[in-house]
Structure 1
Amino acid sequence: MQREEKSHWFEKIENLHPYRTIMYLGMFGSGLIFLFLMTAFVLSQPEAGRYDQFAIPKSFIISSMVIIVSSFTSGRILPYFNSNNIEKTKIYLFVTLLLGLLFSTLQFTGWRELSGMGIDFRGLPSGSFLYLLSGIHLFHLAGALIYALVLLIHLKKSEKDPVSTLILLSNPYEEMKLGLFSVYWKFMDAVWLVLFILFLWMF
C-alpha cells in the first residue's frame, strides 16, 4: 500500500509541467535560504533585548497590511480568468501589481527609519540581517512584479481581438501562468509575514 502511494506521488511529480517544477524547486530553495538567514539573524544577537531601545519601523507595519490585502487580490485573479472575465482578471492583476509597488516603496521607507534609529547595514552585527532579509525578500518580489507586468500586457493585447481572447481563455497554458503567479505571490506574502513576526519578536 505504501509503495503504491509513493509511486502515485512520483507519478504526480513526473507529470508536473516543467515551469511548475522549476517554480516549486525555486520556492523550496528560497525557503531554505530565508530559514538559514533567519536563524543566523537570531543567533547574531549577542544579548537578549538588544533592540528594546528601538521601535519597529512604522513602514514595515503598513507594508505588512498592504501585503495581506495583495494576498486577497492575487487570489481573485485565477477564479475570474476561469469564469472568462478578462476585465476582472486584469483589474485584480493590476491592483496586485500596484500593491506590490506600494509595498516595495514602504520597504525603502522602512530602511530609512532603521537608519534614523542608528541601525545601519554596517552597524550592529544583527542589524545587517534586517536589511539583508528584507532586501532579499524585496528582490524576490521584484521578479514577481515584472512577471505581473508581462502578464498584464499580454492580457491587454489579447483583449483587442475576440479570436485572441477566445484562444487565451481556452488555453490551459495561460491558466497555468496566472496560477503560478498567484501561488508564488502568496508564497512571498507568507515569507514576509514570517519575517515581520520575527522582527516584532526581536524589537
Structure 2
Amino acid sequence: MKSEHEHENQVGARHRSSPFGRIEGMPPVLVALYFALLSITVMFLILVVAYVATRLRSGAPTGLYSLPRYFSLSTIVLVVSSYIIAHAQRLYAQDDLGGLARCLGATLLMGSVFSGLQILGWRELMTNGVPFQGVASSSSGQFIYLISALHVVHLVGGMLFLLVIMLRVVHADRDAVRTLVFIRNPYHRRHLKLLATYWHFIDVLWIVLFAVFLFMY
C-alpha cells in the first residue's frame, strides 16, 4: 500500500504536468501579462480583418499609393530596440547596473524615435491623399491611422514601465549597498523579464501589421 507521502507526490506531479498546474505555478503578474498580450492580439486581429475586408470591398487596386517611408524606417528602429533590450537580463545577471541603465536608456530612445517616425508617417499619408477623417470613415485608409496609433499607445505604455525600471536602476547604481540589494531582489529580475517579453511582443506585432499594410495598401 502506498504511503500518504507518495500519494501526495503523485498528485502534485500530475498537477504540475497539467496546463492548469503550470499556470497556477506562474507568478500572478506573469499570468496577467500573458492574458493582456492575448487581449491585445485579439483586438488587433479584429482591426486587421476589418481593414482587409474594407480594402477588398473598395475594389481599388493595391499599390495605388506608396506606403510612408517613415513606416519602413520606424520598423528598423523598433527591431534595433528589441535587439538592445534583449541584453538587459544578461547585464542584470552580470551585476552591471551601469550597463543595464544604458541599455534601458537606449531602448527608451529607440521607442521615442519610433513614435516620432510614426507621426511623420501619418503626415506622409495625408500628403499622399489619405486624410484622417475619423474612425467612422468607410475608407480603408483610416484603419491605418487607427491601427498605427493604437500600436503607438501600447508602445508608450511599455516605455513608461521601462522608464520606471530605468530610474530604479540608476538610483540603485549610485550606492554599493543599494546595488547589492537591487541585484539580489528577484522582484527586479521578474520585472525585467516582463518588460523584455512585452517589448518583443510589441515589436513582432508591428512587423506583422507592417507586412499587412505593405501587401494590402
**TM class, shorter-length:** over 0.9
Aligned to 1:179: 193
Matched, 1:194 2:208: yes
Distance 2:78 2:30 in 1: 23
Residue 124 of structure 1: CA displacement?
5.7
Structure 1 window deviating more from structure 2 (40-49 vs 70-79): it is: 40-49
- Amino acid paired to 1:60: F
Q: 1:158–1:168: 8 Å Cα contact kept in structure 2?
A: yes
What is the TM-score normalised by the length of structure 2? Answer: 0.88
- Amino acid paired to 1:144: G
Q: Any residues of structure 2 matched to 1:40-189 within 5 Å, and which?
A: 40-45=50-55, 46-122=57-133, 125-189=139-203
Matched, 1:32 2:42: yes
Q: 1:49–1:202: 8 Å Cα contact kept in structure 2?
A: no
Distance 1:126 1:71 in 2: 30
Residue 86 of structure 1: CA displacement?
0.9
Structure 1 window deviating more from structure 2 (3-12 vs 30-39): it is: 3-12
Deviation string for 1:39-58 (max 9, x for gaps)?
00000112455442210101
Residue 13 of structure 1: CA displacement?
0.5
2:18 is paired with a residue of what secondary structure?
helix
Structure 2, unmatched stretches of 5+, are: 1-12
Q: 1:77–1:89: 8 Å Cα contact kept in structure 2?
A: yes
Distance 1:36 1:138 in 2: 17
- Amino acid paired to 2:81: S
Residue 133 of structure 1: CA displacement?
0.5
2:112 is paired with a residue of what secondary structure?
helix
Aligned residues: 201
Question: Alpha carbon RMSD of aligned pairs, Å?
Answer: 1.7
Distance 1:113 1:145 in 2: 25
- Amino acid paired to 1:18: P
2:63 is paired with a residue of what secondary structure?
coil
Distance 1:48 1:73 in 2: 42
Structure 1, unmatched stretches of 5+, are: none
Structure 1 window deviating more from structure 2 (113-122 vs 176-185): it is: 113-122
Distance 1:150 1:124 in 2: 40
